[in-house]
Homo-oligomer: A and B are copies of this chain.
Amino acid sequence: GGRVLPLLLAYVCYLLLGATVFQLLERQAEAQSRDKFQIEKLRFLENYTCLDQWALEQFVQVIMEAWVKGVNPKGNSTNPSNWDFGSSFFFAGTVVTTIGYGNLAPSTEAGQIFCVFYALVGIPLNVVFLNHLGTGLRAHLATLERWEDQPRRSQLPSQILQLLGLALFLTLGTLVILIFPPMAFSHVEGWSFGEGFYFAFITLSTIGFGDYVVGTDPSKHYIAVYRSLAAIWILLGLSWLALILSLGPLLLHRCSQLWLFSR
Protein backbone atom coordinates (compact mmCIF):
# COMPACT_ATOMS: atom_id res chain seq x y z
CA GLY A 1 0.00 0.00 0.00
CA GLY A 2 2.98 2.31 0.65
CA ARG A 3 3.90 2.25 -3.03
CA VAL A 4 0.57 3.64 -4.20
CA LEU A 5 1.36 7.29 -3.47
CA PRO A 6 4.61 7.51 -5.50
CA LEU A 7 2.85 5.65 -8.31
CA LEU A 8 -0.10 8.04 -8.18
CA LEU A 9 2.35 10.93 -8.31
CA ALA A 10 4.21 9.45 -11.29
CA TYR A 11 0.91 8.79 -13.04
CA VAL A 12 -0.44 12.31 -12.51
CA CYS A 13 2.91 13.83 -13.55
CA TYR A 14 2.91 11.73 -16.71
CA LEU A 15 -0.59 12.98 -17.54
CA LEU A 16 0.43 16.58 -16.83
CA LEU A 17 3.49 16.17 -19.05
CA GLY A 18 1.29 14.78 -21.82
CA ALA A 19 -1.25 17.58 -21.42
CA THR A 20 1.51 20.21 -21.69
CA VAL A 21 3.21 18.72 -24.74
CA PHE A 22 -0.01 17.95 -26.63
CA GLN A 23 -1.22 21.48 -25.99
CA LEU A 24 2.11 22.91 -27.13
CA LEU A 25 2.07 20.86 -30.33
CA GLU A 26 -1.60 21.18 -31.26
CA ARG A 27 -2.80 24.59 -30.14
CA GLN A 28 -1.11 26.59 -32.88
CA ALA A 29 -2.26 24.24 -35.64
CA GLU A 30 -5.78 24.44 -34.25
CA ALA A 31 -5.70 28.26 -34.23
CA GLN A 32 -4.54 28.23 -37.87
CA SER A 33 -7.30 25.83 -38.94
CA ARG A 34 -9.80 27.94 -37.05
CA ASP A 35 -8.69 31.18 -38.69
CA LYS A 36 -8.72 29.51 -42.10
CA PHE A 37 -12.26 28.28 -41.48
CA GLN A 38 -13.46 31.73 -40.36
CA ILE A 39 -12.00 33.29 -43.49
CA GLU A 40 -13.68 30.72 -45.73
CA LYS A 41 -16.97 31.36 -43.95
CA LEU A 42 -16.61 35.12 -44.52
CA ARG A 43 -15.68 34.59 -48.16
CA PHE A 44 -18.80 32.46 -48.57
CA LEU A 45 -20.93 35.23 -47.05
CA GLU A 46 -19.37 37.77 -49.42
CA ASN A 47 -19.86 35.63 -52.53
CA TYR A 48 -23.47 34.72 -51.79
CA THR A 49 -25.04 37.94 -50.62
CA CYS A 50 -28.51 36.47 -50.03
CA LEU A 51 -27.01 34.65 -47.06
CA ASP A 52 -26.66 36.19 -43.63
CA GLN A 53 -24.66 35.05 -40.61
CA TRP A 54 -27.73 33.50 -39.03
CA ALA A 55 -28.64 31.41 -42.11
CA LEU A 56 -25.10 30.12 -42.36
CA GLU A 57 -25.04 29.10 -38.69
CA GLN A 58 -28.36 27.32 -39.21
CA PHE A 59 -26.88 25.35 -42.08
CA VAL A 60 -23.77 24.45 -40.07
CA GLN A 61 -26.12 23.21 -37.34
CA VAL A 62 -27.99 21.02 -39.85
CA ILE A 63 -24.79 19.55 -41.23
CA MET A 64 -23.37 18.80 -37.79
CA GLU A 65 -26.61 17.10 -36.71
CA ALA A 66 -26.49 14.91 -39.82
CA TRP A 67 -22.85 14.07 -39.10
CA VAL A 68 -23.59 13.15 -35.49
CA LYS A 69 -26.44 10.88 -36.66
CA GLY A 70 -23.98 9.06 -38.91
CA VAL A 71 -25.00 10.62 -42.22
CA ASN A 72 -22.15 11.67 -44.48
CA PRO A 73 -23.18 15.21 -45.53
CA LYS A 74 -20.92 15.13 -48.60
CA GLY A 75 -22.38 14.05 -51.93
CA ASN A 76 -25.90 12.94 -52.74
CA SER A 77 -28.33 10.33 -51.47
CA THR A 78 -26.87 7.64 -53.73
CA ASN A 79 -23.90 7.27 -51.37
CA PRO A 80 -23.60 3.66 -50.16
CA SER A 81 -25.14 3.20 -46.70
CA ASN A 82 -22.76 3.37 -43.74
CA TRP A 83 -24.52 0.26 -42.43
CA ASP A 84 -24.06 -2.06 -45.40
CA PHE A 85 -23.10 -5.57 -44.31
CA GLY A 86 -19.34 -5.13 -44.71
CA SER A 87 -19.30 -1.94 -42.62
CA SER A 88 -21.61 -3.47 -40.02
CA PHE A 89 -19.27 -6.47 -39.75
CA PHE A 90 -16.29 -4.13 -39.39
CA PHE A 91 -18.21 -2.21 -36.72
CA ALA A 92 -18.92 -5.44 -34.77
CA GLY A 93 -15.17 -6.13 -34.93
CA THR A 94 -14.32 -2.68 -33.51
CA VAL A 95 -16.72 -3.36 -30.61
CA VAL A 96 -15.33 -6.74 -29.51
CA THR A 97 -11.70 -5.63 -29.88
CA THR A 98 -12.58 -2.40 -27.94
CA ILE A 99 -10.93 -0.35 -30.73
CA GLY A 100 -14.19 1.60 -31.17
CA TYR A 101 -13.21 4.01 -33.96
CA GLY A 102 -16.58 5.69 -33.62
CA ASN A 103 -16.89 6.63 -37.31
CA LEU A 104 -19.90 4.33 -36.96
CA ALA A 105 -21.83 4.12 -33.69
CA PRO A 106 -25.38 3.02 -32.91
CA SER A 107 -27.72 6.01 -32.89
CA THR A 108 -30.99 4.24 -32.01
CA GLU A 109 -31.87 3.27 -28.45
CA ALA A 110 -32.30 -0.39 -29.47
CA GLY A 111 -28.91 -0.32 -31.18
CA GLN A 112 -27.26 1.13 -28.07
CA ILE A 113 -28.85 -1.46 -25.76
CA PHE A 114 -27.85 -4.30 -28.07
CA CYS A 115 -24.34 -2.85 -28.29
CA VAL A 116 -23.94 -3.03 -24.49
CA PHE A 117 -24.94 -6.71 -24.31
CA TYR A 118 -23.01 -7.54 -27.48
CA ALA A 119 -19.85 -6.06 -25.95
CA LEU A 120 -20.43 -7.80 -22.61
CA VAL A 121 -20.16 -11.21 -24.31
CA GLY A 122 -17.98 -10.22 -27.26
CA ILE A 123 -15.04 -8.62 -25.43
CA PRO A 124 -14.28 -11.73 -23.30
CA LEU A 125 -14.79 -13.96 -26.36
CA ASN A 126 -12.33 -11.80 -28.29
CA VAL A 127 -9.74 -12.00 -25.49
CA VAL A 128 -10.02 -15.80 -25.40
CA PHE A 129 -9.79 -16.00 -29.19
CA LEU A 130 -6.76 -13.69 -29.48
CA ASN A 131 -4.99 -15.57 -26.71
CA HIS A 132 -5.58 -18.84 -28.58
CA LEU A 133 -4.27 -17.28 -31.79
CA GLY A 134 -1.24 -16.02 -29.90
CA THR A 135 -0.66 -19.48 -28.41
CA GLY A 136 -0.95 -20.94 -31.90
CA LEU A 137 1.68 -18.52 -33.18
CA ARG A 138 3.86 -19.34 -30.24
CA ALA A 139 3.57 -23.09 -30.84
CA HIS A 140 5.26 -22.50 -34.19
CA LEU A 141 8.22 -20.96 -32.42
CA ALA A 142 9.67 -24.47 -32.10
CA THR A 143 13.09 -23.08 -31.28
CA LEU A 144 11.77 -21.49 -28.14
CA GLU A 145 10.03 -24.65 -27.01
CA ARG A 146 13.13 -26.80 -27.44
CA TRP A 147 15.14 -24.22 -25.61
CA GLU A 148 13.04 -24.46 -22.47
CA ASP A 149 13.95 -28.14 -22.02
CA GLN A 150 17.70 -27.65 -22.32
CA PRO A 151 19.84 -27.83 -19.20
CA ARG A 152 21.43 -24.55 -18.26
CA ARG A 153 24.93 -23.52 -19.32
CA SER A 154 25.06 -26.11 -22.12
CA GLN A 155 25.92 -25.15 -25.70
CA LEU A 156 26.29 -21.45 -25.18
CA PRO A 157 27.03 -20.60 -28.87
CA SER A 158 23.96 -22.53 -30.03
CA GLN A 159 21.87 -20.69 -27.46
CA ILE A 160 23.10 -17.40 -28.87
CA LEU A 161 22.23 -18.61 -32.37
CA GLN A 162 18.75 -19.54 -31.24
CA LEU A 163 18.28 -16.17 -29.54
CA LEU A 164 19.38 -14.46 -32.75
CA GLY A 165 16.99 -16.62 -34.75
CA LEU A 166 14.15 -15.77 -32.43
CA ALA A 167 15.01 -12.05 -32.56
CA LEU A 168 15.06 -12.26 -36.37
CA PHE A 169 11.69 -14.02 -36.37
CA LEU A 170 10.14 -11.39 -34.09
CA THR A 171 11.63 -8.56 -36.13
CA LEU A 172 10.34 -10.04 -39.39
CA GLY A 173 6.91 -10.54 -37.86
CA THR A 174 6.82 -6.96 -36.63
CA LEU A 175 7.83 -5.75 -40.10
CA VAL A 176 5.06 -7.81 -41.65
CA ILE A 177 2.52 -6.42 -39.16
CA LEU A 178 3.69 -2.83 -38.67
CA ILE A 179 5.48 -1.82 -41.89
CA PHE A 180 3.99 -3.48 -44.97
CA PRO A 181 0.27 -3.09 -44.15
CA PRO A 182 0.67 0.62 -43.27
CA MET A 183 2.48 1.05 -46.60
CA ALA A 184 -0.42 -0.61 -48.43
CA PHE A 185 -3.03 1.41 -46.50
CA SER A 186 -1.16 4.68 -47.17
CA HIS A 187 -1.04 3.87 -50.87
CA VAL A 188 -4.77 3.09 -51.11
CA GLU A 189 -6.00 5.91 -48.85
CA GLY A 190 -3.62 8.59 -50.07
CA TRP A 191 -1.94 9.03 -46.66
CA SER A 192 1.74 9.62 -46.01
CA PHE A 193 3.61 6.63 -44.59
CA GLY A 194 3.76 8.42 -41.25
CA GLU A 195 -0.03 8.73 -41.20
CA GLY A 196 -0.37 5.04 -42.15
CA PHE A 197 1.96 4.02 -39.33
CA TYR A 198 0.10 6.30 -36.90
CA PHE A 199 -3.17 4.65 -37.96
CA ALA A 200 -1.65 1.19 -37.46
CA PHE A 201 -0.33 2.07 -34.02
CA ILE A 202 -3.55 3.73 -32.85
CA THR A 203 -5.50 0.68 -34.10
CA LEU A 204 -3.33 -2.11 -32.65
CA SER A 205 -2.98 -0.32 -29.31
CA THR A 206 -6.84 -0.41 -29.37
CA ILE A 207 -6.95 3.36 -28.76
CA GLY A 208 -8.86 3.82 -32.03
CA PHE A 209 -9.41 7.59 -32.25
CA GLY A 210 -11.20 7.16 -35.56
CA ASP A 211 -9.41 10.14 -37.15
CA TYR A 212 -7.91 7.72 -39.68
CA VAL A 213 -9.98 4.67 -40.62
CA VAL A 214 -9.33 2.48 -43.66
CA GLY A 215 -12.05 1.86 -46.20
CA THR A 216 -14.32 4.76 -45.20
CA ASP A 217 -13.64 7.47 -47.81
CA PRO A 218 -16.93 7.76 -49.74
CA SER A 219 -15.15 9.25 -52.75
CA LYS A 220 -12.99 6.11 -53.18
CA HIS A 221 -13.88 2.78 -54.76
CA TYR A 222 -12.25 0.03 -52.74
CA ILE A 223 -11.74 -3.51 -54.00
CA ALA A 224 -14.20 -5.95 -52.44
CA VAL A 225 -11.75 -7.74 -50.11
CA TYR A 226 -10.03 -4.56 -48.86
CA ARG A 227 -12.01 -4.24 -45.63
CA SER A 228 -11.77 -7.99 -44.94
CA LEU A 229 -7.99 -7.88 -45.42
CA ALA A 230 -7.84 -4.95 -42.99
CA ALA A 231 -9.88 -6.95 -40.46
CA ILE A 232 -7.53 -9.96 -40.79
CA TRP A 233 -4.54 -7.64 -40.35
CA ILE A 234 -6.10 -6.27 -37.13
CA LEU A 235 -6.69 -9.78 -35.73
CA LEU A 236 -3.19 -10.99 -36.60
CA GLY A 237 -1.67 -7.77 -35.29
CA LEU A 238 -3.50 -7.94 -31.97
CA SER A 239 -2.56 -11.59 -31.41
CA TRP A 240 1.03 -10.84 -32.46
CA LEU A 241 1.08 -8.06 -29.88
CA ALA A 242 -0.32 -10.44 -27.25
CA LEU A 243 2.45 -12.90 -28.16
CA ILE A 244 5.19 -10.27 -27.92
CA LEU A 245 3.83 -9.03 -24.59
CA SER A 246 3.78 -12.60 -23.24
CA LEU A 247 7.28 -13.36 -24.62
CA GLY A 248 8.81 -10.07 -23.51
CA PRO A 249 9.69 -10.99 -19.91
CA LEU A 250 11.01 -14.43 -21.00
CA LEU A 251 13.22 -12.88 -23.68
CA LEU A 252 14.61 -10.30 -21.25
CA HIS A 253 15.36 -13.10 -18.79
CA ARG A 254 17.17 -15.16 -21.47
CA CYS A 255 19.20 -12.19 -22.65
CA SER A 256 20.29 -11.33 -19.13
CA GLN A 257 21.20 -14.99 -18.56
CA LEU A 258 23.34 -15.07 -21.70
CA TRP A 259 24.98 -11.82 -20.69
CA LEU A 260 25.83 -13.23 -17.26
CA PHE A 261 27.24 -16.47 -18.71
CA SER A 262 29.34 -14.69 -21.28
CA ARG A 263 31.19 -12.67 -18.69
Contacts and interface: CB of A to CB of B under 8 A. Distances in A.
A113 B26 contact: no
Interface string A41-64: 100100111110001011111111
A93 B99 CA distance: 16
Given A33-B69, A210-B210, A96 B15 contact: yes
A10 B126 CA distance: 10
A149 interface: no
A256 interface: no
Interface string A7-35: 11011001110111111011101110111
Count of this chain's copies in the oligomeric assembly:
2
A77 interface: yes
A14 B122 contact: yes
Given A63-B63, A67-B67, A70-B30, A91 B22 contact: yes
A66 B33 contact: yes
A85 B201 contact: no
A18 to B, nearest CB: 3
Contacts of A19: 85, 88-89, 91-92
A198 B106 CA distance: 10
Chain A interface size range: 35 or more
A112 B206 contact: no
B8 A129 contact: yes
Interface stretch (A131-139, A153-161, A168-176): A131-139
A249 to B, nearest CB: 12
Given A14-B122, A15-B93, A119-B205, A210 B102 contact: yes
A60 B74 contact: yes
Interface string A101-131: 1100111111111111011011101101100
A68 interface: yes
A81 interface: yes
A14 B102 contact: no
Contacts of A73: 37, 60, 63-64
A211 B22 contact: no
Interface of A: 1, 3-4, 7-8, 10-11, 14-16, 18-23, 25-27, 29-31, 33-38, 40-41, 44, 47-51, 55, 57-71, 73-77, 81-85, 88-89, 91-96, 98-102, 105-116, 118-119, 121-123, 125-126, 128-129, 132-133, 136, 139, 194-195, 197-198, 201-202, 205-211
Given A14-B125, A100-B210, 11 more contacts: A1-B139, A14-B122, A15-B93, A18-B95, A23-B84, A26-B106, A48-B51, A48-B55, A61-B74, A64-B67, A105-B211
